[in-house]
A and B are shown apart, each in its own frame.
Chain A
């Protein structure tokens, strides 16, 4: 049953009512386990008779597999099974939803184990199971693979060249809905066309044009992928893994191994970060195959950090070209852009969402954006927090800054002039309903940071805005009322950052009880209804809604029980703040819970929702930097992130999402990048040379939560997790320009790049 639209009910939250639970800061219910090391993450599992799996990966970026000889490996004492692509079924082309995009399941199968070709350094070629991880590793060294090495393609523009080597030799371009004549590395060409950009540029008095490049970067979750599988002789498969979506794992494994979903149970373990990268499966199908081939023994697999970097799903490097025009009042009139995004070895870059995010905060009448999804010999990209957004917003926010400079306008004022309001049409065609972008600009302008003096030499302040669509999706929850008046809640959303508590809080608010009286549990695929993964900034919104629906269903049943006890009609009873009353008679929920048996037995309720009224999110960030002109080193002096967060259910964790997104954006902007050698081998496969921010690289990150409630949700929830990663790169680029006068058009804006730019300025 899908959620009813709440529309004009008393639950629409324009006026910010007082809540009992929502907006408070309880200790999260899984907290004690997490701070004592008791929480069980995927690699912590131990099962009797457990074997260990390891993966042999391609040392080449592009090659044909001529032969695989596993015979030596199979004879190593302690080795139980070896699998290759021959052990996987050939699938048909079937595109399905996954994470925040789609996935072609045939490609997903090829990504699990290569077939005729390897398409990136690290592409899995074979896997073994053995009695110890060390023996498994030794066995890998004995598998002989002969390759015919092919020329790799490592850059989007080169990949589009007519003579470029083709990765998937029978892949044609989806050319705005038509199939291209010849095979190509371009998987798809998308276009957004609104109005008439030619006329739009004619009416512009100032036009700026620039091209940008960004490097491939990784989500950088601290916990590597893992998967443990037990394939039973009766055909039942159980998988324990750290994933963002247990149902997504079930679906993918079902397709890749051609087993019915009813035979698969996925148990989500605690997860050490995902950010989009733990939606696709990598190890799970391998562990399942090995489990079966090892004589139905459990097989545990974990990835090394170098495997994570080389062979999971980073996000696209890109090339972006923008032409942007504004009229004499400073109002934007037209934008024309070309965006080439690396898909990696298989189609599916987030260029489509990047196209929408790019000028999401701005009102522009005439838009022509061409986006291309381009294959290169790098790992297949996966979603990374506002997929496609950071690349695009970086470019856009630098252009906006250039225009505001040309008009001599304060950069926030320029954005206020051009920023979208309720009812405006977006640059991706949809019309915004109730949004909070202008509120973030207002709050940023008023913030003390914005008027604080900049005292250091070579320091500068930059601003940037950002947007993310957010998402609804399918969520389920069920709850039982316990005789002591507490509630046991099972929900289907993996908890990556406190969501089991924010969901429990919504149930508690709905029931009028304390959150301490709700015991949340993240269910496996057998124990809770279908729930899409924890992605898309949807979890607090959609699964919270499911929990709210459950609370209302529990109340309805409880009212009926109270009516029985009092021998009245249910409609005559009112329920408020955890108590039932009629006239002078009153009974608390706890009291009634104790009388369930005498009124008919236990009470439980479940709900499954697919709410469509998710509201998009906007943010405006301010950053102060100091640049050492002799070394190019950037120091972040101060950072303020202003975001419309809808109603903040669990404020500590909303702040945390903002701060975490900012930190990732900073790393993306200043130091993180994939460095491939000309043969396509990834050279920085460890966390020493894939440089994520450390504690000394960041100051305190001030957050300002502007709460423009989303009228489409019972409690006004708006997704918050993804927006914060969108503005930092642009804000930093603009700050660096203010500090030392160079506009950088390539990410990361590393010290070497800054030095070069400063030198070029001098020359």
Chain B
């Protein structure tokens, strides 16, 4: 049985977007099935794995636990919005250089989470990185290379900002 759909206006990755959705649909579901933004993944659908991470009004959240209707008037950044017109974001580049991914399924969630971390704390310690990333599960890497990639990114971005 379908309820009447609601019309939602939002900003996704800097672009104005509108869509129709049922109230019960999560943001994750709408991103993937309605908007074709399949970069955010479903790993558990209840906030325990972080594969669905997006940044909502500057805060890192599990999009599986946000209803699509809740982003009315808000701003969402997904993995698709991390790279810029010039190319990969330093986080993405460092993930590749450090081989911080194997199957790559958790990678979008980690990259979004890492971006949120570095936005808030540009110079985290290893412990702070691990603590922040504890909401993202990886089963392939054992986290070692992911943590190294994030720490290296912080260094690189710090250098870049001192150059400007």
> A: which residues have CB within 8 A of B?
25, 27-28, 30-32, 34-41, 43-44, 46, 77-78, 132, 134-135, 138, 219-224, 270-275, 302, 304-305, 496-498, 652-653, 655-657, 659-660, 662-664, 686-688, 692-696, 698, 700-701
Contact = CB atoms under 8 A, between A and B. Distances in A.
Contact of B24 (A40, A134, A220): A134
Interface residues of B, number: 63
A46 B130 CA distance: 35
Given A272-B104, A659-B141, A692-B137, A302 B99 contact: no
Contact of A660 (B83, B136, B141): B141
Interface in B89-139: 92, 95-99, 101-108, 111, 126-127, 129-131, 133-139
A695 B105 contact: no
A36 B104 contact: no
Contacts of A302: 42
Contact of B130 (A78, A655, A695): A695
20 contacts: A35-B95, A35-B108, A43-B38, A43-B41, A138-B1, A222-B41, A222-B139, A272-B41, A272-B105, A273-B139, A305-B43, A498-B99, A659-B141, A660-B139, A687-B44, A692-B139, A695-B131, A696-B130, A698-B143, A698-B144
Contact of B103 (A27, A32, A43, A271): A271
Contacts of A664: 139
B22 A134 contact: yes
A697 to B, nearest CB: 8
Contact of B144 (A222, A273, A653, A659): A659
B49 A27 contact: no
B14 interface: no
A25 B107 contact: no
B139 A40 contact: no
A655 B105 contact: no
B36 A46 contact: yes
A701 B25 CA distance: 40
- Nearest first, the 7 A-B pairs at minimum CB distance are A37-B39, A272-B105, A663-B142, A34-B104, A652-B99, A497-B102, A659-B142
A29 to B, nearest CB: 11
- Max chain A Cβ within 10 angstroms of own Cβ: one of B1, B40, B105: B105
A89 B135 CA distance: 44
Given A134-B22, A224-B42, A273-B105, A27 B143 contact: no
B69 interface: no
Given A30-B104, A695-B133, A686 B48 contact: yes
A664 B143 CA distance: 11
A31 B103 CA distance: 10
B81 to A, nearest CB: 10
A36 B82 contact: yes
B20 to A, nearest CB: 13
Contacts of A25: 99
B105 A35 contact: no
Interface in B32-52: 32-33, 36-46, 48-49, 51
Contact of A700 (B98, B111, B134, B147): B147
A70 B148 CA distance: 54
Contacts of B76: none
A236 B78 CA distance: 37
A660 B42 contact: no
A223 B43 contact: yes
Contacts of B33: 46
Contacts of B104: 30, 34-35, 39, 270, 272
Given A36-B92, A663-B143, A696-B134, A653 B105 contact: no
